Structure 1
Amino acid sequence: MSAPDVLISIHQASSTAMGKSILENLNFEIRRGETWAIISPSGEEQTGFLQTLRGKTILRKGQISFPFAQKYLGKMNELGVAHSPQDLISHVSQEYQFRNKSNLQNFYFQQRFNSSEVDEALSVREYLASNSSNQDGFWTLEKVSKLLNLESLLNQSILKLSNGETRRLALALGLLRQPLIFLMDQPTTGLDVQSRMNFGVFLEEITTAGVHVILTCSPEEIPSGVTHVGKLSKDGLEAFKIQEFNKLEQEGINFPFDQDELISLSKAEVNDSVQVIRLLNVNIKYGDKQILKDLSWEVNSGEQWQIKGKNGSGKSTLISLLIGENPQAYANDIWLFGRKRGSGESIWDIKRPTGFVAPELARFFPTNQTCRKVILSGLFDTMGLFKKVTSEQENLADRWIRLFALQSVSNVPIQRLAADQQRWTLLARALIKRPKLLILDEASQGLDDRQRGVFKETIDAICRETDLTLIYVSHYDSDVPEMVDRVLDLG
């Protein structure tokens, strides 16, 4: 290919963010007709690579050029309009920051389960329309809705979307910004099996329409349509054509934690005679939409379950019933730890014996909540620490911080932690009170392969050596701990 075919070029670049080195000696080119997947042992490096392309890191040395944008930049110069190559680049991250109708980012975790508050959020149609590019282009709301199977969701509140539906909404929004380059950070994370299979079709559609894609993913999830793979490390990037990459040997996993300390901290007193969960013909509806229909399910003490099902099948709604966040529980026959919901128990009685981890939880803590405070908040089942703790409780938090190697970030706000540090913080928060039931909802989502393997082995180690009851929600069978031997399939 000739020089005009180069879209973006990086030469000997080293970048930093927040005073921390992100990438060193990076060389990279994407040319017309190429689609790249960037893999790495570290999700932080993958995100840092995309952030460097977006101009969100500090370039200490080297250079980045954007030949694909030269014509656009020249035109904007003539018009005297403020401009940047970033005008032609869309980016989808692993986190979504939605705002309500007052343009305030003040949603809280439980709000999605309270139908009386749905009006605080825009509908999918309103959200896409209000966040689209001012530039005319190929992508319209009708086209992206059809391509990403959002047509049936257009009038639904964004607050009610499942994790996978939210991912598709973010991809649709990226297209509506009319990009020539589309950067995607772990775009298949949170998608069910069928949606992940369909992602290759989506990729082919948009690249055929002239969009060039650079995405990050794990080696096992490189979608069809990718032409090149970049194996990223702090020392640079090794490039392969997809055919060359397919036989690369993958790195093994070494368990990094003190297993004896893990078990010592995790053991709880469990009454084997008390049934943990009992649901009898449970029905949950929002308006005309039936989420759960006549669901009956029993979980006994010490059992390990996987909940599976396609996006929108009701997994998150079911979890909301189990953690006491869904008011429709009172209209159904639901028993938790031998006690019927609505029999005089408080919300704290429900939360006390249950630990819960979901990746989106990190977004809902106040900005002053550090790693240490978040872990300590698990003792009180609050979204943040708001009371004085004892020296014994401080020492307990210290043990968890040392176990999960969080000492260097213990006083850093949780929103500023890397994805893996957030997950270990949230897991420590869930386990610090020694729960009888642990619910993990896509808890390793967004982690790289090595981190997911360590997370899986950590949960396996706890389940092997304690009487913990486990509910594990995941679209990825490879992430499910080996100890899980029961499945509830919601379809």
Structure 2
Amino acid sequence: MSDTILSIQQATILFKAQQAFQNLDFQWKKGENWAIIGDSGWELTAFIETLRGNTVLSAGKIERSFSADYVKSKTEAGEVHSFRDLIAYVSQKYVFKNRSHIQNFYFQQRFNSSESEETATVREYLLEVNPKVSGPWNIENVAKLLRLEALLDKSLLKLSNGETRRLAIALGLMQQPRIYLMDQPMTGLDAKSREEFGQILKRISEAGVQVLMTTSATEIPDGITHIGKLSKEGLVNTWTKEDFHLDQIQPLQMPSWDWELLASLLPKDLEVDPFPVIKLNDVTIKYGDKVILDRLNWEVNSGERWLLKGKNGAGKSTLLSLLIGENPQAYSKDFWLFGRKRGTGESIWDVKRPTGFVAPELSRYFPANQTCRKVILSGLFDTMGLFKKVSSEQEELAHQWIKLFILEPLQNTVIQRLSLEHQRWTLLARALIKKPKLLILDEASQGMDEFQRRLFKETVQQVCERSGITLIYVSHYAEDVPEVVEKVKELGN
């Protein structure tokens, strides 16, 4: 009997009406855990979706022998079934719903203690999983494995980016999979969590689950046994973990946009304010008995570029919520923005107008009809979507940003249907279109492939070099931080 659990033979694959691969071959055997790397995030996702059966096979063959016995027994019993019953999947796009099973949250709701209770807790969400097969995973052991024990009674909206990622992995395990597919699962995790990921992978494997994940060539976790390099031609190289070395990967060319066009869109004469852009004096933020920020002091002056860092759950999101005017606790604190103490008569629009903000989760909060173009234009009004008529000058400004980031073919596509990388460029254009004094980037290149991450880093570098903008940059990856960043604020020490 063959030990192959899945095979792809001479396959031509269409994904989202485009040809993704031609003559794709892949053999996945028992006991193997694969890391798939490549230069295109779109191709990596297309490969995962092919394994899930969500692409069009126009030539060749795919055999999923891991499900043969299950399919046979269910067929004989006359029960509805699919090979997908044995597969769990962690996407880069995860959506949580409220208690009414409607995803109608708004961004500020995360920081409003009463309204965030509309959301299920971590425990409730895990209990909703209804697996098609039996298996070893329960709330107790997934919570322990993924460090969710202290979060079980926490509202989903209160989770940090990294905590949400760990919950997404736990949800997959609760499905009792035989095969676990993960699309960039370490994205958004801090350095400690990324180191621990290899141990998590080993524990999953010991329970009889085989894993295939897409990842970066620089992040191959323990527990992976085989590595494949993907391109349009298919898997162009495969290695065992022991035989794989980074110098076998061809370096990427340095990417670029039209930097002169970028310069023309940036503010030419941002004045250097005589007062700090941000000033916090002994600021403490609590939710109930839980202290998130403890007597925090921080001063950011005009034109400075800061890296804000800290472990998942250290309070970065809470701090940023103060800076962008979304946290109601700001009014009772000794906290100044652009020379004005919060709670002295300023409107939320006064706070938002000089600030551009990008975070990966922002795309979830736009109404379903908001296209790439509308999202970019909404930056002029600091709203989560475009709800008013714009002038011809404003239309032209949006067109220039769309042209800069080569978004013309996608400008009328709704944001939720854009690829992650196109969502990121759309949100960056939205933040920059109003020529802000302060730019806050919270894991803003998350979900991009290596080429796009390098381009994003260089774009931020060029924005700072060509304007006097003040920058707060949040990233768990040192290699993603632009050289122009010269100061560091670390939370949780």
TM over 0.5: yes
Equivalent residue pairs, number: 489
1:92-128 CA distances to partner (integer Å, 9 max, x unpaired)?
A: 0011111111111111211111101122111111100
Choose which of 65, 69, 74 in structure 2 pairs with 1:76: 74
CA distance in 2 between counterparts of 1:135 and 1:13 reads 30
| Paired amino acid for 2:161 | N
Q: CA deviation at 1:222?
A: 1.1
Partner of 1:448: 449
Residue 407, structure 1, aligned to residue 405, structure 2: no
**Are 1:234 and 2:232 an aligned pair?**
yes
- Contact kept, 8 Å, 2:440 with 2:472, in 1: the verdict is yes
By how many angstroms is 1:320 displaced? 0.4
Q: Calculate the TM-score normalised by the size of structure 1.
A: 0.98
Q: Which amino acid aligns with 1:345?
A: E
SS at match of 1:96: coil
Counterpart in 1 of 2:10?
12
User: Is the CA contact 1:268–1:435 (under 8 Å) kept in the aligned structure 2?
Assistant: no
Instruction: Tell me what 1:180 maps to.
Output: 178
Q: Please name the residue that 1:159 is paired with.
A: 157
Instruction: State the Cα deviation string for residues 292-332 of structure 1 (Å, max 9, x = none).
Output: 01001000000000000000000000000000011010111
Aligned alpha-carbon RMSD (Å)? 1.1
Which residue is equivalent to 1:254?
254
Q: Distance in 2 between matches of 1:23 and 1:101?
A: 41
* Structure-1 residue corresponding to 2:267: 267
Residue number in structure 2 paired with 1:89: 87
On the 8 A contact 2:8/2:25 being kept in 1, the answer is: yes
Q: Secondary structure at the match of 1:200?
A: helix
Shift of 1:24: 2.3
- Provide the secondary structure at the position in 2 that maps to 1:220: coil
Matching residue of 1:304? 305
1:253–1:454 contact (8 Å) kept in structure 2: no
8 Å CA contact 1:355, 1:437 repeated in 2: yes
Q: Which amino acid aligns with 2:338?
A: F
Name the SS for the 2:60 alignment partner: strand
Q: Deviations over 1:436-465 (max 9, x none)?
A: 000000001111111100100110111112
What is the rounded CA distance, in whole Å, between the counterparts of 1:274 and 1:398 in structure 2?
35
Q: Mind listing any 5+ residue stretches in structure 1 that lack a counterpart?
A: none
Contact kept? 1:269, 1:436, Cα under 8 Å: no
2:140 and 2:365 map into 1 onto residues whose CA distance is 32
2 CA distance for matches of 1:346 and 1:105? 28
Give 2:145's match in structure 1, choosing from 147, 154, 157.
Answer: 147
Distance 1:365 1:24 in 2: 36
Deviation at 1:162, TM superposition (A): 0.5
Tell me what 1:421 maps to: 422
Give the conservation status (yes or no) of the 8 Å contact 1:362–1:415.
yes
3-state SS of 1:210 partner? coil
- Unaligned stretches of 5+ in structure 2? none
Q: For residue 55 of structure 1, what is the aligned residue in structure 2?
A: 53
Q: Alpha-carbon deviation of 1:134? A: 4.8
Please give the secondary structure, in 2, of the residue aligned with 1:256: coil
**What TM-score do the two structures reach when normalised by structure 2?**
0.97
Identify which range, 211-220 or 407-416, moves more after superposition.
407-416
SS of residue in 1 equivalent to 2:357: strand
**Secondary structure, in 3 states, of the residue corresponding to 2:311?**
coil
Partners of 1:109 and 1:42 lie apart in 2 by 30
- Deviation string 1:12-45 (CA, Å, 9 cap, x unpaired) is 1222233222222211111001010011111111
CA distance in 1: counterparts of 2:457 and 2:178, whole angstroms: 38
Paired residues for 1:38-437 under 5 Å: 38-238=36-236, 239-246=238-245, 247-272=247-272, 273-437=274-438
What SS does the aligned partner of 2:188 have? coil
AA at the equivalent of 1:245: F
Tell me the distance in 2 between the aligned counterparts of 1:104 and 1:262. 39
CA drift at 1:4 = 2.2
Indicate the SS of the match to 2:114: helix
Q: CA deviation at 1:59?
A: 1.5
Counterpart of 2:449, as a letter, is D
More deviation in 192-201 or 219-228? 219-228
CA deviations on 1:26-69 (whole Å, 9 max, x unpaired) are 11111001010011111111111111111111221212111111
Give the deviation of 1:132 after TM superposition.
4.0
Matched AA of 2:312: N
Shift of residue 144 of structure 1? 0.5
Describe the superposition over 1:270-307 as per-residue Cα deviations: whole angstroms up to 9, x where unpaired.
33113200011111111111100100100000000000
Opposite residue 380 of structure 1, the aligned amino acid is F
Q: Distance in 2 between matches of 1:104 and 1:401?
A: 32
- The one-letter code sitting in structure 1 at the alignment partner of 2:29 is R
Q: CA deviation at 1:136?
A: 2.3
Q: Which moved more, 1:262-271 or 1:217-226?
A: 262-271
Aligned to 1:458: 459
Deviation at 1:226, TM superposition (A): 1.1
> For residues 408-451 of structure 1, what are the alpha-carbon distances to aligned partners after superposition, in whole Å with 9 as ceiling and x for unaligned?
11111111111111111110110001000000000011111111
Aligned partner of residue 379 in structure 1, secondary structure: coil
Q: Which moved more, 1:314-323 or 1:111-120?
A: 111-120
AA aligned to 2:239 is F
1:327-384 CA-to-partner distances (Å, cap 9, x unmatched) read 0101111100001111111111111000000111111111111111111111111111
